[in-house]
Chains A and B, each alone.
Chain A
Amino acid sequence: MSSLALMRWLEGAPERYDAGMRVLSFGRVARLHAAVAAAAVVNSGDRVLEIGCGTGAVTELLLAGGATVTALDQAPEMLEQARKRLAADAPVEWLEQTASEIDRLPERGFESVVLSLCLSGMSPSERAFVLRQAALRLSAGGRLVAADEVRATGWRRLLQLLWRVPQAAVGWLLVGAVSQPIPDLADEIEAAGLRVIRSETWLSGTLGLVVGEIADA
């Protein structure tokens, strides 16, 4: 799976981002997006909060599923790409802000919160804060869908480590930011007060998809 370092470099050129992501994920990114959107939108009309929307690839699928989306990203260039991708009258609100500012959005205001490929770029304390705040934004029965680079287990961990050496070197030289795969995504989502109802890995265990729902629902 792509290192976040390379993604960040790609963020510098948003027009190349989608093509770059396809290459870095060996073509799997479209399937991942589809899986995230399918998990996030249960009913037409669901209100979805998408944190780190990037160029809007997942946003587009969420809208196609009938959702009303609040999409945020801190990079104005990415939001511009996302806006270009979608129809001007699409039911989506764009917010240029960081994930740490979701505490300003209404509590219990969303049926779903989506975090696609953005958590691994955060420090552990930032992740904990964002997941806790995301859980508070969920309405009764709501779900959090997170997909990101995760730490592989067993022999696959060795493969991941070997692959990470050249990947990290290039990323470090280009942008100085080497992403750290999240050690245990499901565990962090449970720590935010949610019950994990689905947890699976892709790409030899290096990419995780986790769905959590409100524990008291």
Chain B
Amino acid sequence: MREVPAVVKRPLVDPCKEVLQTAFRLLPWPTEAGLRRIGEPDETSPVLLTGNYDLTVRRLARALDGCDAWLLVAPSRGINVWCAAAGGHLSTHQVVTALKTSGVAEFVNHRDVILPQLAATGVTVLEVFRRSHWKARFGPVSAHDLPAYLETGEKTDAMRRVRFPLSDRLQMAAQWGAPTALVLGGLALWLRPGFALPLALLVAAMSVAIFTLYDRMGNARKLVFGIASVAAASSITALTSSDGVALLTAAVAPVFITMLLTFDYAGSTPLEGGSHFEERKWRITLDPDRCKGVYRCWEVCPEACFEKLPNLRKVELAHDDRCIRCGACVVQCPQDALFFQDADGTRIEPDVIRKFKLNLLGERKVSAAPFE
């Protein structure tokens, strides 16, 4: 018998790490890959897999406090599950590697592994089985739903959906606001120390406003919001100083604010992909003749675009207006019944979506014919 795996590193709540990793979520935060214990798992306990993003591993362990399970941390380059899966860093390869080399098979008497649903853009369950003989299934989107899911074995509709609640919005605000405030505040500290704090506070306030209010506004309200922001920036400038530098700042502030408001947050929210994302204009298309009613698309779609048609053993693409083109349904469909299609009818075939992932600019670098 191999050495018993360690528990997830304590403390599970580490305020310093929490603040640092939330403010700099844009950076990868790798933790060691491998098998961990949650509680006192035995050979019948479930095996849960995630990527080696430190923040996720700690939050997952917190959410699972009181459960007994095996946590398999796969090497995803310290990137969170959804981004790593879309970018090819949490793919079938990494899952197979974790299952085969971590020794998990020696600790359980089953071969079932629960993957995070958002890994569905990168990990093909059929391929995992073919390469490792482990049966993978997709659990809930959110770690908070895991205890209920493990308890009942049932994934409710709500567990399938990606939400963007206030807590997530504030984290996004921190992720973009903190580094920007630091850079701009730092620059001001060097050039004009009096501006540093007001500028940093302005950036922080605007980040919060952008992620909590702005995307939910209509165009008219966005205009008012923009004008109010410029007025606020100008007032701060006028109150802080009244010389030439202040005038210059007042002139630059609107430009800066416009940049913030129109900045491409490139896929960092679950609402839409960035404008660089080549496939944003493509539409998900269903070939009903190929569909055999396996419902895997329905199971993995984070926006619940599909409806089951049980009498016909088919699905219907009932809400494609909600589609964010994550490609999870295309990757998982065992019948290849789903694909992306351009307005002129050009297709991106499922195998291309499975094999070639998005780079940081949202491009899919297709350079090779698929290998067998």
Contacts and interface: CB of A to CB of B under 8 A. Distances in A.
Interface of A: 8, 12, 14, 74, 76-77, 79-80, 83, 94-101, 103-104, 123, 125-126, 128-130, 172-173, 175-178
B100 A129 contact: yes
B276 interface: no
A177 B101 contact: no
A38 B103 CA distance: 35
A80 B32 contact: no
13 contacts: A76-B355, A76-B371, A77-B356, A77-B367, A97-B93, A98-B94, A99-B97, A100-B97, A123-B33, A126-B97, A129-B100, A172-B28, A175-B28
Nearest to A124: B34
Majority-rule SS of B interface residues? loop
B79 interface: yes
B370 interface: yes
A80 B75 CA distance: 24
Contacts, number: 74
Interface of B: 27-30, 32-34, 75, 77-79, 93-94, 96-97, 100-103, 131, 355-356, 359, 365, 367-372
Given A98-B93, A177-B28, A129 B371 contact: no
Most chain A CB inside 10 Å of its own CB: which residue of B33, B77, B78, B93: B93
Contact of B97 (A8, A14, A98): A98
B32 A176 contact: no
Nearest to A101: B131
Contacts of B355: 76
Most chain A CB inside 10 Å of its own CB: which residue of B79, B96, B100, B131: B100
Nearest to B369: A80
Contacts of A103: 100
B101 A125 contact: yes
B102 A125 contact: yes
Given A172-B27, A172-B28, A177-B28, A8 B77 contact: yes
A129 B35 CA distance: 14
B368 A79 contact: yes
A148 B371 CA distance: 27
A196 to B, nearest CB: 22
